[in-house]
Structure formats: structure tokens, C-alpha cells
A and B are shown apart, each in its own frame.
Chain A
Amino acid sequence: MSDTIFVAAEGGSEIEIGHHRTVEFLGMTWNADTIWTTAIAGIIVLALGFSVARNASATNPGKLQLAWEALVSWVTVQVESNLGKVNPFVIPLAIALFAFILIANWLEVIPSKEYLKPPTADVNLTYALAFLVIVGVHVYSVRERGVRGYVHHYFEPYPALFPIILIEEIVKPFTLALRLFGNIFSGAIMLAIIGLLPALVLWLPNVIWKLFAMFIAVIQAFIFALLTILYFGMAGDTHGEGDHEDRSQSDPADEPKTTNQPQLAEAH
């Protein structure tokens, strides 16, 4: 593979793809642009959060507070319906993921040449997010099912499916990371290609694409947060095995699920 991949556009201009401004630190290469756009996105998210948290009013909420509350209540509802209970780690995780990914994606819309590339167009960020989610999912799975139940779930419903389930578990973080990366990255490439157009006609496709990219940004942040919740939900699912009696006692919300199991088994 060559050093960098180029897209040759008409007129001889070249767009470098996957090229990052790097710095050498501790003898390693760091993608400086991704790091500082991450910092910018993070600061924006935290500033939005703090500006609401400081003035959070129960009687007279502002628009920003209502937006935060909408996100919080949506995530809470999703977590409750998928995990069967409110989880003190998953809810903030999903909220932070949505807010941060959304703001990071929207950096793309700010006209800044290549200085403010969305950090989500770098696999380093998306892999990091997916890594955190998957580690959390597996830890949650072990805590919910116990070690035996966790190991056992790789051999369910049939032991022969073990390789497929193993691959599924391995692939999950990559699909999670690369879906986000691919969408935002391709959006950035589109913007770069549109940037090669003559200035007279540039604005129209630019505006259209940026509006579309804003929409894609919301969708991707939504998908990432929702899949995170779904993965946690699946990780907590016991398949009528092992410690499920303990769970049904400790968790009344799961009772309908567990009582359904024998009927499903009979139906099969």
C-alpha cells in the first residue's frame, strides 16, 4: 500500500485522504488534529452541560435545558426498556456518547479548511469509544450473569454456534467504530471534493451537503448511543440459564421475560 491514498480530481488537484497532522511525542506519532478537535468538541459539550447545570431550573427551563432533558429522558427510557432497570453507568455513558459524537460530527459543518476536521473522522476516536463501550458491555455481562453464565452464553443456544457468536462479539466494537468513522469520513471527503468545484457553483452543493451532513451527524450519534444501550441490554439477557432465578428475584422487571422462556422453548 502506498504511503497515502489520493483522489485525483480534474484539474490536477489532489485530495489527501486519511492524512493527519502529526506530532512526535514520547517517541510516538500522535494525530495532533484529532486530539485538539476532540478537545474542542469536549469543551463545547462540557460548556453546554455546565451552562445548563448551573442554571438548571425546575420551573422555567431554557431551550438548552429542555434539549438536555429530552436526551436524558430518551436515554433513560431506552435503558429501562432494554436493560429492565436504570443503570448508573449506561445512562451517563449513552448521554455522553450522543452529545459528544453529535458535537464532534458537527465540527465538520464549521467552515475551517482542514483545521477543524471532525475527530470522528479518525478511527482513533471511534475505536476508543467503541473500546470503552465493549469493555463496559463485557464487564456488565459478567456481573449480570456471573462468570459461568458469561462463558456459557458463547455456547447458546447451540454449542455449534460458538464460532459465530465469538466472531460476533469480536466484530461488535469494529462495526460500532467503523460505522461512525465511515459515515463522517466519507462526509469529509465529499466536502473536500465539492471544495474542488469552481467558487461560482461551489456554494450550492456545499450548503446542501453540509445540511445533509448535519443530519447524518445526528443519525450517527443516535445510532452509536442506541447500539451501546442495545449491546448492554443483550449482555444482561440471560437465556433461562444459570443464575436467572437469582436475577428474577432481584429484578422484578425481568419476570415477564423469564416466564416467557419455557413457552418459547415449547414452541420451538
Chain B
Amino acid sequence: MARTSLAQENFLLPNLTFIAELFAFVVILWVLARYVLPHINRAMTERQEAIRTQFAELEEAKANAQEAENEYRSQLADARHEAAAIRERAREEGATIVAEMREQARAESDRIIRQAHAQVEAERQQVVQELRTEVGTMATTLAGRIVGESLDDDERRQRTVERFMSSLESQDGASRSEARR
């Protein structure tokens, strides 16, 4: 070993390399601080800012969505409520209509029945009237043929029919009272 210094005897002691190392590190530090870190910091802050903005936008969008949902829900509730009200009203109206119709129908049927009764009564009257005239004629004709007596005399014939009818009626009333007895 040509030259023996203290540093070479003990590796825990520095030599002048110390100065070189100090200088080297100061240069590294300076370059990093001057040319590298500002760029990294700027990118970092920009991104953080962007993320913050995005978060704010997200929050806003969320709030909007929430609001829209609330509105939708309230509208839905309103609609349901309204639908229920409409249904209720419709039921009431339906019930009213049914009642009215039923009333109308009853009135109509009553009217028809009354009319039918009246018609039947009128027809009966007519039939009775017709019978009154025709049965007499037929009966006298038949009786005339049987007895050979001319019954063409209108007045006599009328009297005969009247008698016959009244006897028939009295007979009928007697048999009816007998049957009642």
C-alpha cells in the first residue's frame, strides 16, 4: 500500500470523499427540487382538484337523482291517491246508477204490468160484449133450427135472449152460491 491514511486504517472514518458525496447529493437535491418535484406536485394537485370536482359533480348528480326520485315517488303517491279517489267515486257513481236503473226498471215494469192489466180488462170487456151479441144470435139460430120456430122477430128474439141470459146468470149465481155453501 503506497499511501496509508487514517481512513484506510479505519473504515468508520471519512476521507475527502465526504466532500464529493456532499456535493453530489446537494446537486441531486437541487435538481430534484428545482426541475422534478414542481411538475409532480402540479400534476398531483391538478388531479386532486379534478377528483374533487368529480366528487362534487357526483354529489350533485346524486342529489339530483335523489330529488328526482323523491319527486317521482311523491307523484306516484299522488297518482295512487288520485286513482283510489277515482275508483271510490266510480264505485259510488256506479252504485247510484245501478240504483237509478233499478228504480227505473221497476217503474217501467209496473207501468207495463198496469198497462197489460188494463188491456186484458178491456179485451175481456170486448169479448164479453161480443159474446153477448154473438152467442145470442147463434143460440137463437140453433134453437130456431131445433124447434123449427121462426125466431126472426127481432123484438121477440131479443126478449128470449135476455130471458135466457138472465136465467143463465141466475142459474150460474145459484150454482155458485151452492158451491160456496
Contact = CB atoms under 8 A, between A and B. Distances in A.
A53 B13 contact: no
Interface string A124-156: 110111011000000000000000000000000
17 contacts: A29-B15, A35-B21, A42-B28, A49-B37, A53-B36, A65-B40, A69-B40, A72-B41, A91-B37, A122-B21, A123-B14, A124-B20, A127-B14, A127-B21, A128-B22, A129-B25, A131-B18
B50 A59 contact: yes
A93 interface: yes
Contact of B22 (A45, A57, A122, A132): A132
Contacts of B50: 58-59
Contact of B40 (A3, A24, A72, A124): A72
Interface in B22-36: 22, 24-29, 31-33, 35-36
B147 interface: no
A171 to B, nearest CB: 14
Given A3-B8, A53-B38, A91-B37, 12 more contacts: A1-B10, A34-B21, A42-B28, A56-B39, A58-B42, A58-B43, A69-B40, A96-B25, A96-B29, A124-B17, A128-B14, A132-B29
Contacts of A96: 25, 28-29, 32-33
A46 B43 contact: no
Interface string A90-133: 01110110011000000000000000000100111101110110
B8 A4 contact: yes
Contacts of A29: 3, 5, 7-8, 15-16
Contacts of A22: 8
B1 interface: yes
B9 interface: yes
Interface of A: 1-5, 17-18, 22, 24, 28-31, 34-35, 38-39, 42, 45-46, 49-50, 52-54, 56-59, 61, 65, 68-69, 72-73, 91-93, 95-96, 99-100, 119, 122-125, 127-129, 131-132, 178
B102 interface: no
B46 interface: yes
A72 B32 contact: no
Nearest to A75: B37
A52 B39 contact: yes
Given A30-B16, A57-B43, A49 B22 contact: no
B44 interface: yes
A123 B9 contact: no
Question: Which residue, of A24, A30, A68, A124, has the highest number of chain B Cβ atoms within 10 A?
Answer: A124
A265 to B, nearest CB: 40
Contact of A119 (B7, B21, B36): B21
A129 B18 CA distance: 9
Contact of A46 (B36, B44, B46): B36
A129 B42 CA distance: 28
A93 B22 contact: no
A131 B22 contact: yes
